[in-house]
Amino acid sequence: MKKENIWLIVSIVLFIGLVASMFTGGFGIKISGSGDSPVEVADKAVKFINDYGLGGGATASVVPGSSEYLKSDLYKFGLNIGGQEYTSYVSRDGKLLFPSVIDMGEMSKSSPEATAENESVEIPQTEKPEVRLFVMAYCPYGNQAEAAMIPAANLLKDKADISLNSVIYSDYATNMGGEAKDWCLDEEQKYCSMHGINELNEDIRELCVAKYEPEKLWDFVGKINDETTTQDVETKWEDIAKEMKIDVNKIKDCQKNEAESLLDEQVALNEEYGISGSPTLLINGVRYQGDRTAEAYKTAICQAFTEMPEECKTTLDEGTVAAQGTCN
């Protein structure tokens, strides 16, 4: 059965269930106030789908590592049905299950009026533009932005000040109903990351590489993105670093002894610029609103020079325009 047909059937069944739930008090997932984690909630939602939503021998399963809380009383999780992956949502109180959602905020940002408004923001020119890309190490949209930035950063590294920065949350474990150790560096939850402690650890390592071996940063980030996940990065990053002749012991020492000072700098930048989502790109302090391609990034940075360097004449691969989503 085609991917579209499978999910159409599931959507219809779940819609009928949704209507029924209005009269019966929900799907019976019963998670409100229970402190269940996103993973537990996703497992319960999938059990409901398998019990009531699918037929013909098809079964659903949770895509590993896909469950997260969206700060809007929704849990998001990946769903695998017959080898095809979908994104689904369940309300935090366990009463409503959604095959998909439409982010009206993102839709409004892409309207002609919003696009015109975004394009009208003028980036000031400086002799050496300051470029800051804020990401979470395992946000898929952030990874797309990093992939686009790598060739632009390597091209303009001697001409512009291009830095990789981290999006850091506080009190995230409390918001998720989980334990601090799963999301945060500290029990006080000053330094947390949306996709868990392994993401935060990778954020710290990349900050360390940026400090001690900056010429290797962007290629290191590219390899981490291509070859690791939050589940296996702790066992793979050292081999990647050694392959790139990065001093592993230096990075480990930095991660152990400088993590809080590096994260304090990131928290201060997050607050200064009002950063909450990954990716966010600032050029000379102004938010970039264009396409996420290497050529688009290069062009925007080059336009921020008072005098464009010769490198700006180089055309970079346009590639595929990445989805304009955000982890926040």
Span 132-171, pLDDT tens digits? 999 999 999 999 999 999 999 999 999 999 999 999 999 9
The pLDDT of residue 177 is: 83
Which CATH architecture best describes the domain 111-313? Answer: 3-Layer(aba) Sandwich (3.40)
Integer Cα distance of 251 and 20 in angstroms? 55
- Full DSSP string of 276-315: -SBSEEEETTEE--S--SHHHHHHHHHTTBSS--GGGGPP
Q: How far is CA 47 from the centre of its chain?
A: 27
Q: Please give the pLDDT value at position 20.
A: 44
Q: Is the pLDDT of residue 189 over 60?
A: yes
Burial 197-214 (b: 16+ CB within 10 A, else e): bbbbbbbbbbbbbbebbe
pLDDT at residue 12 tops 90: no
Q: With H, G, I as helix, E, B as strand and everything else as coil, classify residue 84.
A: strand
pLDDT at 214: 96
Of 44, 93, 46, 38, nearest to 68 (Cα)?
38
Tokens of 143: 């990874």
The tokens for 194 are 């949306």
294-307 per-position pLDDT tens digit: 999 999 999 999 99
Q: Tell me the per-residue pLDDT of 203-243, one tens digit each, with 9 for 90 and over.
A: 999 999 999 999 999 999 999 999 999 999 999 999 999 99
**Domain span(s) for CATH 3.40.30.10 in the chain:** 111-313
